[in-house]
């Protein structure tokens, strides 16, 4: 009987460990190579007036789709395949048509201006929903001139400004608008509960809280579940707290400012009792990587293992002894959940401590390519397969 009891105890301990510390059974191995960044002649200006190289999966090419855009941030694509991009510092939304489909923006057109730090973009039919720092605005082009004739405020029930001023908007399977509003500070108790939260409209309610600065949010194309990457607080050292990938549940509390990571109490505000009430991240990532935009790879003209992947742009650190980030990473997904560890997809914007680019947000284009904005280089890159490897060019 004692032997059986020991065996049962061991079984339950093993089961508990397996539940609390899941391990991925799959490991994605990506063969990479250094590729020369393809720069059209009209973009031969700083930082592209010198040869640039990046490291990418074998069989891929990277080119400059548009440049000279300023601090370009988030993007959206319309039904015709035209890419729209926000430039918060200039209060503008740009449209970058590629009518001849040569992989280079034909021109840079100001779709709308005079906006208050526009950031997140999402199309709902012909309407472009723009997340300004303190409101949601609907823009629409009624006459086909690629300029917004219609400008309508949807709601002003969004807290503006503060330490994290960006707002990101996505449209859920229920057709409602989900808006991420970051915290007003590095670490503090917010007086406005709409900060460090994801809001839902038209209700204007708090869908989830305790998310310090979840700039990147996206619904999974199959499961319809909401996922987000969250930026952890600063000033706790090089390795803590981890950046997080969270599956966002309605009513969920993800801990900030009381806890981080696997319900670890914050040294200023947390306690074990308070952290028990919070939800832990699904994946922890390198501290101070600054994950911003994210996109699921459905619709890409890439090999199968890349299509179901979640792509995340690491903007890069500012308060770390040894800088980290400055790259595009991928998280393999299977059956609606992560199936592997974070892997590097594109690297090379930081070389020998020199940073010449900072990725912001990926976007799946209508042409099957992956587009990536860079607010430091003021550019948008096009990541695609070499022509001989692409199904669309066979």
Read off the pLDDT of residues 313-363 as tens digits, 9 standing for 90 and up.
Answer: 999 998 899 999 999 999 999 999 999 999 999 999 998 889 999 999 999
Class of domain 24-64+131-393: mainly beta
Distance CA 24, CA 243 (A): 19
Distance CA 217, CA 170 (A): 7
Q: What is the pLDDT, as a whole number, of residue 29?
A: 82
Read off the pLDDT of residues 195-237 as tens digits, 9 standing for 90 and up.
Answer: 999 999 999 999 999 999 999 999 999 999 999 999 999 999 9
Q: What is the pLDDT, as a whole number, of residue 161?
A: 87
Percent of the chain, pLDDT > 70? 91
Tell me if the pTM is above 0.85: yes
Distance CA 295, CA 178 (A): 15
Q: What confidence tier does 3 reach under pLDDT thresholds 50, 70, 90? A: very low
Read off the pLDDT of residues 7-65 as tens digits, 9 standing for 90 and up.
Answer: 333 333 333 333 333 556 566 788 999 999 999 999 999 999 999 999 999 999 999 99
| Number of other CB atoms surrounding residue 165 within 10 Å | 18
Give residue limits of the domains in the chain: 24-64+131-393
DSSP result, 338-372:
E-S--EEEEB-SEETTEE---EEEEEE-TTS-EEE
133 vs 30, higher pLDDT? 133
């Amino acid at each position: 009987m004692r032997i059986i009891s020991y065996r049962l105890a061991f079984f339950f301990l093993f089961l508990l460990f397996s539940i609390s510390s899941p391990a991925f059974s799959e490991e994605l191995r990506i063969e990479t190579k250094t590729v020369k960044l393809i720069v059209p002649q009209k973009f031969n200006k700083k930082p592209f007036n010198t040869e640039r190289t990046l490291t990418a999966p074998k069989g891929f090419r990277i080119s400059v789709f548009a440049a000279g855009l300023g601090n370009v941030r988030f993007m959206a694509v319309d039904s015709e395949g035209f890419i729209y991009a926000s430039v918060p510092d200039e209060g503008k939304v740009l449209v970058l048509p590629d009518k001849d489909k040569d992989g280079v923006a034909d021109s840079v057109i100001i779709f709308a201006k005079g906006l208050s730090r526009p950031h997140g973009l999402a199309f709902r039919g012909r309407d472009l929903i723009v997340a300004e720092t303190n409101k949601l605005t609907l823009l629409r082009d009624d006459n086909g001139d690629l300029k917004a004739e219609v400008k309508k405020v949807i709601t002003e029930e969004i807290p503006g400004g503060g330490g994290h001023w960006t707002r990101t908007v996505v449209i859920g399977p229920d057709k409602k608008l989900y808006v991420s509003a970051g915290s007003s500070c590095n670490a503090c108790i917010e007086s406005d509960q709409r900060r460090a939260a994801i809001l839902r409209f038209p209700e204007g309610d708090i869908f989830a809280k305790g998310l310090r600065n979840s700039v990147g949010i996206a619904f999974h194309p199959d499961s319809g579940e909401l996922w987000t990457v969250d930026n952890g607080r600063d000033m706790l050292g090089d390795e803590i707290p981890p950046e997080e990938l969270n599956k966002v549940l309605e009513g969920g509390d993800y801990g900030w400012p009381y806890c981080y990571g696997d319900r670890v109490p914050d040294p200023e505000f947390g306690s074990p009792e308070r952290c028990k009430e919070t939800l832990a991240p699904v994946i922890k990532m390198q501290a101070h990587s600054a994950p911003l935009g994210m996109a699921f790879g459905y619709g890409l003209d890439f090999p199968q293992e890349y299509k179901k992947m979640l792509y995340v742009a690491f903007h890069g650190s500012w308060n770390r002894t040894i800088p980290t980030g400055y790259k595009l990473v991928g998280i393999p997904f299977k059956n609606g959940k992560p199936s592997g560890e974070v892997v590097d997809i594109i690297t090379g914007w930081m070389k020998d401590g020199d940073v010449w680019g900072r990725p912001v947000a990926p976007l799946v284009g209508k042409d099957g390519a992956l587009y990536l904005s860079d607010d430091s280089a003021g550019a948008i890159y096009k990541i695609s397969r070499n022509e001989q490897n692409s199904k669309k060019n066979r």
